[in-house]
Chains A and B, each alone.
Chain A
Amino acid sequence: MDFATFLIQCLNALQYGLLLFLVASGLTLIFGIMGVINLAHGSFYMIGAYMAYALAPIVASTFGGGFFATLAFGLVIAVILGYVLEWAFFSFLYEREHLQQVLMTYGLILVFEELRSLLVGDDVHGVAPPAILSGSLPLGELMTYPVYRLFISAVCLLLALGMYFVFTRTRLGMMIRAGSTNREMVQSLGVDIKFLYRVVFAAGVAIAVFAGMVAAPVSSVYPGMGSSVLIICFVVVVIGGIGSIRGALAAALLIGVVDTFGKVLLPQAAGVLVYVLMALILLWKPDGLFKAG
């Protein structure tokens, strides 16, 4: 591997890591901070990708369209969806055992997959990136790098900074963190914890849906796409330390590096390297890299 190729692979690793953080950040919120094991997280991601595909023509005919209008419209639907789901299902789960949470969220996966099949069908679809971002930058003599991938990286960084700021520097973030440590105490201090959690959950769903919509032009849209990201999302949250946004970002970048260079340098072991990494880190730090609290 010469130096130029090495640099390009570093860029690939960084870009993949940031994409992973984008996908996993909603899970950090719901699983990491609220403590609900949410297997349906992948489904929210899938819903987002399908919205990017299916909503585009509808938005185009009513509001004049555009990728960013679809994005905004999708986010509104996602917040409503998250809010309703929390009210109807998840609000009963906080005090329950993890096994019951797993059971219900697994049921939701089946429901969402079947609905997806009924509403949009089982075909594979492509989503075009917005025109201003559809170009490519030359990279070396032979390769080019799509501008849209760089855009995704920038969005991920912004999201990471935004989440970090809200959680560590604002009153809302403080209440959420306090609520995750001791619900009753926060409630007795006069905070409407039920409403607060509903908002956090809606935000978690919205971020997952947002990730799906932003990733759709790169990943394309296909049945079962949710389950393929679910496991890697849990790996990110577990390596990073449950409840830590900083940790999730570090873990996502670490996985990006290991996966990218693993595929090239150790192709026989590419499938297991990420999990070996997780095992090693958990042996070294059983609570993950940055345990919150």
Chain B
Amino acid sequence: MDKKEMIKINDLNKSFGDLHVLKDINMKVFESDVVCLIGSSGSGKSTLLRCLNFLEKKDNGTIIIEGKEVDPRKDNLNKIREKVGMVFQNFNLFPHKTVLENIIEAPMMVKGMKKEKAISKAKQLLIKVGLEDKADVYPSKLSGGQKQRVAIARALAMEPDIMLFDEPTSALDPELVGEVLTTMKDLAEEGMTMVVVTHEMGFAKEVADWIVYMHDGKIVERGTPEQFFNHPTEERTREFLKATMLK
């Protein structure tokens, strides 16, 4: 049986002023797939991710989410964003709210969920990310890894069909990276559709179904981790892999 097409991008272009950051991007993401976007800084991978929940406006091209083409001028982007969760590099937790309040905010205010229900759901999610004892703590008391796990729980509370991760471990101390990657791996194993911008080659190798390598605003190469890491076809990819593996 064919898997459902969750995201389809056709000929996507995006410029910031004179800087052409995305050039004719075409991409598909199927249900339960984990796609890792990799590439050096400035390659456009974060911009591509941000286009997927319309935090960044595309210049032209089409973005189709779950079979429906999204027109940012006509469609209610808030409805689409409910379906597409996002985790940021800098966590962006709400500092004036406790961990629990961070998680129940959107389900209550956007979906109109009853408080008791939102709280019981939030507590389940906190158990899932291993932070059930932190419910009443403010974000300033958490480590970076804990913050990011709360951010993941907060996004999951909206029951999204797709999760986007924008360099989720780049702002973390090295010893805190593992706990976040483990949480993401669990999520992948549950069948969540995920698009992950990352520099963690180990994670990409182990968890991704597909690797998409970007350079200079273009997709240079894509393939399974096995193809990509062991038999890259493009010279540019080989250079990139050589440089990153030496680190």
Asked if chains A and B come from one complex, the reply is: no
List chain A positions with a Cβ less than 8 A from chain B. Answer: none
